[in-house]
Amino acid sequence: MRFKHSFKILIARFSLVWNILMYYLIITIIISSLGAAVLIPIIETFKEMGLAQDFNAIIVSLFQNESPQALSTKFMDLYFRIINEFLVIPKVGWSLRIFLLGIIGILARLLYGFGEMATLSVLEGHMSANARYSFGGAYLSNLWKSIKYQTSKMLFTLPYDLFIVFVLYLMTYLFKIAAFRLFLPLLIMSVFIVLIAFRLTALSHWGASIAVDNMGVFKGFGHSLKLVFRRKNFFQVFSAFVVVVILVIAVNIFVTFFTLGAGLLMTVPFTVLWFNSLSMTSYYVAKGRRYYIDSDTIFTSPAVKDE
């Protein structure tokens, strides 16, 4: 139900994809301008190492009749070259560049995230009253709320994302064991999907509680955790996010390869909107509220029917 309704709401408010796309393009230009001085030397170093050619060779191999084990070996050779050669380059100023790159990454994370509350507010207008709010108006009216929400949210998501990277990094060492090489890519991707779906599930009701019930950031956080970790609700929301994460990974990889990345201009904002739509749908169902799926369809949750 959550999966199906979130997709229908996404289609009903598909125009939001273009709003998110324009917002992301503006933020990307800003971040690129700020990070150019740091990124250019790093990109030049990758060119000197010939990593771009090696990566292209791996992409070409995907369309040839090479075994999964051979592809895994090529990928891991490239991975360890980056670790062994790039991160230990004894050049003056690299530590500062990497530090500045981290600061820019945090800033980018915040700026991209500021669009989340605007998206949730527009979806709230659609689901509660079949109203059509403008993305720009919702962004400006919720800006201070977005700053507090995203800053607080990063205190949880940043360490968790670093934990995911650390876990996946440790798993790559299993490639040194011949018996694991064939199945390890599948295991790594499965672990990645589960960890990402858990993060999305755990925080799915937080932004929705602020957008729908106008709760404060900290009150909304506590309320959302109590709501989402109800046993039956958690597994239903988690299952829906697992399916959506698998689908968006598959779609984005397919689009990257077969449109040379151009299709990401559509699929990235589409992915963002779907995650937000699923969060809002899950919150409305957990609270037992009626909501609009489209302009002609109102869904009444079982909790409301039992009243």
Q: What is the mean pLDDT of the chain?
A: 84
Percent of residues, the chain, with pLDDT higher than 90: 53
- Assess whether pLDDT exceeds 80 at residue 39: no
Q: Which amino acid belongs to residue 145?
A: K
Phi then psi dihedrals of residue 180, to 5 deg: -95, -15
Residue among 107, 135, 111 at smallest CA distance from 273: 135
Q: How far from each other are the two terminal CA atoms of the chain, in whole angstroms?
A: 20
pLDDT at 219: 93
- Assess whether pLDDT exceeds 60 at residue 87: no
Task: Record the tokens describing residue 288, joined without a space.
Answer: 């037992």
Q: How far apart, in Å, are the Cα atoms of 120 and each of 13, 99, 127, 186, 209? A: 12, 33, 10, 34, 10
Residue among 286, 302, 301, 156 at smallest CA distance from 223: 286
Q: Highest mean pLDDT: which of 88-97, 102-111, 171-180?
A: 102-111
- CA-CA distance, 164 to 76, in Å (whole number)? 18
pTM of the full structure:
0.82
- Assess whether pLDDT exceeds 70 at residue 97: no
Q: What angle separates helix 264-287 from helix 231-258, to the nearest 10 degrees? A: 170
- Assess whether pLDDT exceeds 50 at residue 96: yes
**Residues near 59 by beta carbon (within 8 Å), at least 6 away in sequence:** 257
Burial class of residue 123 in the structure, from the number of CB atoms within 10 Å of its CB (0-12 exposed, 13-18 middle, 19+ buried):
buried
- CA-CA distance, 29 to 51, in Å (whole number)? 25
Q: 236-282, pLDDT tens digit by residue? A: 999 999 999 999 999 998 888 888 788 889 999 999 999 999 999 99
- Give me the mean pLDDT over the 181-204 stretch: 89
Say if CB 175 and CB 181 are below 8 A apart.
Answer: yes
Task: Compute how many other C-beta atoms are within 10 angstroms of the C-beta atom of residue 161.
Answer: 15
- Which stretches does DSSP call E strand in 139-214? none
Confidence of residue 92 (pLDDT cuts 50, 70, 90): very low
Q: Which amino acid belongs to residue 281?
A: T
Of the two residues 173 and 179, the one the predictor is more confident about is 173
- Assess whether pLDDT exceeds 70 at residue 105: yes
Of 16-25, 169-178, 204-213, which gets the smallest average pLDDT? 169-178
Of the two residues 21 and 177, the one the predictor is more confident about is 21
pLDDT at 27: 93
Of the two residues 86 and 19, the one the predictor is more confident about is 19
- CA-CA distance, 115 to 93, in Å (whole number)? 34
